[in-house]
Structure 1
Amino acid sequence: MRRVYDALIAGCGIAGLSCAIRLKESGLSVVVITKEDDPLETNTRYAQGGVVSACPDDSEGLLRDDIIRAGGGYNRRDAVELFAREAPELVQDFLVGRVGARLAETGEGVLHYTGEAAHSVRRVAHDNDRTGKTLQQALLARARDLDIPLLAGRTAVDIITNDHHSRDAQEVFADREVMGLYVLDHASGAVETWCAHAVILATGGGGNLFHHTTNPPLATGDGISMAHRAGAETIHMEFVQFHPTCFFHSDIKRFLISEALRGEGGKIVDHRGVPFMQEYSPLADLAPRDVVSRAIYDRMAGTGRECMFLDLASHYSGREPIRERFPTIYETCLRGGVDISRDPIPIVPAAHYLCGGVKADLFGRSSIKNLYALGEVACTGIHGANRLASTSLLEGVFWGLRAAGHIVSRGYTIEPSRLETLREWEAPASSEEVDPLLVDQDMKLIQLTMWNYAGIIRTERGLRRADADLAYHTHRIMKFYRQARLNRRILELRNAVVSASLIVKAALRNKSSAGCHHRRS
């Protein structure tokens, strides 16, 4: 018997769970799937710094201008204005008030705000350096209280559309419409047909397409690849934001050093301890991320060094001791032999956030009926060419709630007879076990290609080389995929090569440097 839901959500980070909570509270049947075994393991969990929130010193106009300035004017202005006007209040009203998240407060019992790069005021609410984890835990607890089915160990294989997956020949002549997902159950290896009146992609971004990244391994561009294969529009794919400060250590990988350290006075210095950011921007260490990343990359190249340093100890201006203000960073770096209360932190830039993605409107709707995109998988237009720090968590909440509101208000259901005509998943007649070494090798080829030719600094020659190499990899991987017995890793590999190709092709089309897309001849 097929599963049929009002809404099917792929991804259980802040965007997916916010949407699920509002849908469930409105009386709709909703299910959330995640390819991880632990629902806590999301991109949201690793967001350290904080979330933009309403605060006394801020205004709609200030926030709007900061977002557009950071985004280089590539932003969708009506989306930015809507976000600046309505979203900041959701931290107190929804995350704290309804979900029950506990964020840092002052002695007077109000939220404590910190500053970050390119913000004109201190408007970032936080739970020291574990904000994402705190919010993720609170959202999961609220979802459990509401009895929202959250099914782990499931990977979405493909989006089901009427014109491609129906046995009814008349559906080919109808407008394209999403009707569900094919879902792989990791435990059984079976691919099941899950139908839904609305499908919401909240699968995160694609940091793991690059050799150096702050993202967890799960970020392989899954939702973008699926949406593209289904015919949805993607935009701004060239705008991949590199975080300037990732911990440089042989044993500790993917660990982000939050921008909040610079918001509390930390300075980027070279191997002699000399600050240099003032040479690259009047905002110095609080310049937008693309500027800081390129400055560090440039200084590394010019000096032949593998890393630069972030000196917090000599410049800290916070009210708490460093080890209390940044406990996660302190403990992690200490495991790597660096005491951040005394020593400069070795850092390198790393792929961090995809500002582009599936084109989504003011309600999170994609260009295909019934398909919504939320969070990092989506491009709502608020980030433009470069995301303003700490806007992404709030974007996930804001568009998650707006999408849920739209789904509830439209009340659309697909006729049962149409769902009955959908084909079941067809496995290849002769499927082979996947050699994990081959998958790892192909993934590493993609990551190195993207890092070397589509990274912080891009050239026409490098991008064309990447495009050619990825075309070759795509042909080989797709042939491999069609003969393989499905598992999570082969699905991620297919998604990765598709999403990587979209980034490179978009970078080739955009001949101008803007934000985090920087081209040199």
Structure 2
Amino acid sequence: MSHHHRHDVLVIGSGAAGLTLALTLPEHLRIAVLSKGSLASGSTYWAQGGVAAVLDDTDTVDSHVQDTLVAGAGLCREDAVRFTVEHSREAIQWLIEQGVPFTRDEDPGREDGGFEFHLTREGGHSHRRIIHAADATGAAIFNTLLEKARQRPNVELLEQRVAVDLITERRLGQTGDRCLGAYVLDRASGEVDTYHARFVVLACGGASKVYLYTSNPDSTCGDGIAMAWRAGCRVGNLEFNQFHPTCLYHPQAKSFLITEAVRGEGGLLKLPNGERFMQRFHSRAELAPRDVVARAIDHEMKRLGADCVYLDISHKPADFIKAHFPTVYDRCLAFGIDITREPIPVVPAAHYTCGGVVVEARGRTDIPGLYAIGETTFTGLHGANRLASNSLLECFVYARSAAFDILEQASLTPLPEQLPSWDASQVTDSDEDVIIAHNWDELRRFMWDYVGIVRTNKRLQRAQHRVRLLLSEIDEFYSNYKVSRDLIELRNLALVADLIIRSAMQRHESRGLHYTLDYPDPVDPPQDTILVPPTYGD
């Protein structure tokens, strides 16, 4: 039997953005934080590098803004960049107050404007400004925020809850567009429950699982983007999918990311014969922006027919490597690779979704009562390519901004009246789940082959033809069988794949993360790709 739940704020997603928003809101608001798997199943936990922020006396807001604009290849919205960077120190101070154990500087009195905590430098940054907790920053932040959330009596943390769709006034045939809650699958009972909320916050992460090779956990299926689109929200710049240049290449490693900080601390990229190659592609060599490095690796692998390239930091002292990269060292050693003595085999993999649901500085979407924060969103911060370690910063800055906005409106917004229960009267249990598995595999393979690091018109046309057939099959399946996590994720992923392809087909140029052989040059002036759903504004 399904149930009805009532909260002031429903947060869909339990990562950095969702937990930050929940902890920023006061204790008189009842908050539910949903995770579709375990609470630690999102991307935050696995983030290694750190958080970019202006913290050192020698660094400036203008410098961080400029580095972000350069990396974004002309498509960043400068007001969004400046808003984020100007609030960076405040966000880091809040994390420190929560007790996040950032790595402290062994020499805080050094002449370059020393800061209490150790700051590292990553690709595209002109200063050391990445605050981190060794090479497991995400885990340190997540564990700290989760413990704080567990201590809050007004925050309910719910695992194994998969959001199916948003409930809006329009969906119920009412006048108006306000978001009233969501239908959520309880995996334990198998029933779809109804969540009533004054405010709904999408903090669901990105959509990198749309690709065959990804550094992300299995949960990054674009759920928030798909639900928002179906509810009537615009999406922007979904053609810009960042491929992390260096994921461990090993048959048992699945999707282990080798942090950008390895290159920031002197790691060198080499061909199988030991030759360096990045200096041929960019003046900053290994410290070039990620899109440049990923394309360079992809180019060299295809040129040589190589399975991978190599990231070598073995020329550094072993104690230095173990102290700065304990997670990478231990994980590689488990696969028989001693990074203090030998290079690491690496390949690019889908890593970050730069576009998403269109929001403004307070996290508001096109639908009243619906907010989106974190990787689910298109804020204008990242432009055509995300600068390293700006993603976690965006989570904290926009989560706090959205929380402040929700608090201002809370007393004026009533809890929705009784909402209809989920109707499962016309569906049956599926005995054909092999179709889901097959479609899932087909989708991720053609997205990798046709909509990957290098694109062409013909590849995109093939991908669009394939995804439209899949969407038709999935819709039929969804209409006739009971929902499951696999079906919900496949439905969302196929829709987001279609939106990515449509966005890529509209961009007749190469810029940042979108590189096409048919349009190799950029076009001025640069324009965002904004897609408008059929229900928007009618």
Contact in 1 for aligned 2:106/2:118 (Cα 8 Å):
no
Question: More deviation in 329-338 or 58-67?
Answer: 329-338
Query: 2:226 aligns to what?
Result: 225
User: What CA distance in whole angstroms lies between the structure 2 residues aligned with 1:390 and 1:451?
Assistant: 24
Aligned to 2:417: 419
Residues 203-248 of structure 1 deviation map (CA, whole Å, 9 limit, x = unaligned): 0001111001000111111111111111101001000000000100
8 Å contact from structure 1 (residues 51, 126) kept in 2: yes
Aligned to 1:518: 515
2:425 and 2:72 map into 1 onto residues whose CA distance is: 45
Which AA in structure 2 matches 1:245? T
**Counterpart residue number, 1:50:** 50
Mapping for residues 86-125 of structure 1, pairs under 5 Å:
86-91=87-92, 93-97=93-97, 99-107=98-106, 110-125=116-131
TM-score (norm 2): 0.92
- Tell me which residue corresponds to 2:531: none
CA contact (8 A) 1:202 1:376 kept: yes
- Per the TM alignment, residue 431 of structure 1 is displaced from its structure 2 partner at its CA by 1.2
Deviation per CA, 1:20-79: give whole Å up to 9, x if none. Answer: 111144x2111101101x212210011101111322221100000011110112011111
- With 108-117 and 402-411 compared, the bigger mean Cα shift is at 108-117
Partner SS for 1:205: coil
Q: Determine if contact 1:11/1:204 at 8 Å carries over to the other structure.
A: yes
Matched, 1:153 2:150: no
Residue 264 of structure 1 contacts residue 317 of structure 1 at CA under 8 Å; is this kept in 2?
A: no
Kept in 2, the 8 Å contact 1:159–1:178? The answer is yes
Q: Deviations over 1:276-311 (max 9, x none)?
A: 001000111100000000000000111110111101
Given residue 488 of structure 2, which amino acid in structure 1 is its aligned partner? L
Q: Which residue of the partner structure matches residue 390 of structure 1?
A: 389
- Cα deviations across residues 360-398 of structure 1 (Å, max 9, x unaligned)? 100001111111010000111100010000111111011
Structure 1 residue 263: deviation in Å?
A: 0.2
Mark the runs of 5 or more structure 1 residues left unpaired by the alignment.
Answer: none
How much does 1:321 deviate?
Answer: 2.1
For residues 42 and 55 of structure 1, the distance between their equivalents in structure 2, rounded to whole angstroms, comes to 30
Structure 1, 401-410 or 49-58: larger mean CA deviation: 49-58
Q: Pairwise mapping of residues 56-205 of structure 1 onto structure 2 (< 5 A)? A: 56-91=57-92, 93-97=93-97, 99-107=98-106, 110-147=116-153, 148-166=155-173, 171=174, 174-205=175-206
Are residues 412 and 359 of structure 1, via their aligned partners in 2, closer, same or farther at CA, if it must alter by over 3 Å?
farther
Deviation at 1:414, TM superposition (A): 4.7
CA deviations 1:99-144 (Å, max 9, x no partner) are: 1110100135610000100000000011111000010000001101
Query: In 2, are the aligned partners of 1:113 and 1:126 still within 8 Å (CA)?
Result: yes
Partner of 1:3: 5
Question: Could you tell me which residue of structure 2 aligns to residue 310 of structure 1?
Answer: 311
Contact 1:197 1:413 in 2 (8 A): no
Give the one of 485, 500, 504 matched to 2:482: 485
Question: Which residue pairs with 1:502 in the alignment?
Answer: 499
1:430 equivalent in alignment to 2:440: no
- Moved runs in structure 1, 4+ residues, more than 6 A? none
Shift of 1:434: 5.2
Alignment-derived partner of residue 349 in structure 1: 348
Residue matched to 2:359: 360
Shift of 1:6: 1.3
In the TM superposition, residue 317 of structure 1 has moved relative to its aligned partner by 7.9
Separation in structure 1 between the aligned mates of residue 209 and residue 247 of structure 2, nearest angstrom: 14
In 2, Cα distance between equivalents of 1:505 and 1:428: 35
Q: 2:468 aligns with which of 468, 471, 482?
A: 471
Q: CA-atom RMSD, angstroms?
A: 1.4
* Matched AA of 2:296: A
Q: Quote the offset at 1:423 in angstroms.
A: 2.1
Alignment check: 8 A CA contact 2:47 2:139 kept: yes
Aligned length: 507
Q: Deviations over 1:157-205 (max 9, x none)?
A: 1000001125xxxx2xx33110000011001111111111110000000
Written as runs of structure 1 = structure 2, the 5 A alignment for 1:167-316 is 171=174, 174-314=175-315, 316=316
Query: 2: distance between equivalents of 1:104 and 1:398?
Result: 21
Task: Write the deviation string for residues 77-113 of structure 1: whole angstroms up to 9, x where unpaired.
Answer: 111111111223321x21111x111010013561000
Q: Unaligned stretches of 5+ in structure 2?
A: 109-115, 519-538
Query: Which residue does 2:535 correspond to in 1?
Result: none
Aligned mates of 2:448, 2:45 — CA distance in 1: 24
Pairwise CA distance, 1:478:
1.1
More displaced stretch, 477-486 vs 214-223: 477-486
In the TM superposition, residue 145 of structure 1 has moved relative to its aligned partner by 1.3
Separation (CA, whole Å) in 2 of partners of 1:324 and 1:411: 46
Query: Given the superposition, is the C-alpha separation of residues 103 and 435 from structure 1 closer, same or farther in structure 2, using an over 3 Å criterion?
Result: farther
Q: CA deviation at 1:413?
A: 5.0
Q: Deviations over 1:464-500 (max 9, x none)?
A: 1001100000000111111121111110010110011
Match of 1:30 in 2: 31
Identity %: 39
